[in-house]
Amino acid sequence: MAEILMAERIGAVERLTINRPEALNALNAQVLSALKSAFDRIAGDEGVRAVILTGAGEKAFVAGADIKEMANIGPREAEALSRSAKIVRVAPPPGVNSPALWGTKAWLEEQFKHQARQMAIEEKAFVFRYRSVDHFLDIFRAFYGPVHKAFLALDPAGQAALANGLRATIARFNTASDDSMRVPSNYAEIVITKA
pLDDT at 134: 95
Measured CA to CA, the distance from residue 64 to residue 143 in angstroms comes to 9
83 and 113 within one domain: no
The 10s digit of each residue's pLDDT in 98-147 is: 666 666 778 788 888 888 888 888 888 899 999 999 999 999 888 887 78
Enclosing domain of residue 195: 97-195
- Residue 89 predicted with pLDDT over 60: no
102 and 194 within one domain: yes
Q: Among 90, 109, 127, identify where a domain stops.
A: 90
Buried residues in 30-52 as b, exposed as e (16+ CB within 10 A): ebbebbeebeeebeeeeeeeeee
pLDDT at 162: 85
Measured CA to CA, the distance from residue 83 to residue 79 in angstroms comes to 6
pLDDT at 98: 61
- Residue 92 predicted with pLDDT over 60: no
Mean pLDDT lowest among 8-12, 92-96, 181-185: 92-96
pLDDT at 91: 47
121 and 66 within one domain: no
Number of domains the chain is built from: 2
pTM of the predicted model, to two decimals? 0.47
80 and 104 within one domain: no
The 10s digit of each residue's pLDDT in 139-149 is: 988 888 778 88
- Residue 160 predicted with pLDDT over 70: yes
127 and 57 within one domain: no
Percent of the chain whose pLDDT exceeds 70? 87
Could you give the angle at which helices 75-85 and 133-143 cross, rounded to 10 degrees?
20
pLDDT at 127: 94
Express the helix, strand and coil content of the chain in percent, nearest 5 each: 40, 25, 35
Q: Among 59, 90, 121, identify where a domain stops.
A: 90
148 and 58 within one domain: no
The 10s digit of each residue's pLDDT in 22-81 is: 988 888 888 988 988 888 888 778 888 778 888 898 887 887 778 787 777 777 777 677
142 and 160 within one domain: yes
What is the Cα Rg of the chain in Å?
A: 19
Q: Among 90, 120, 147, identify where a domain stops.
A: 90
83 and 20 within one domain: yes
149 and 72 within one domain: no
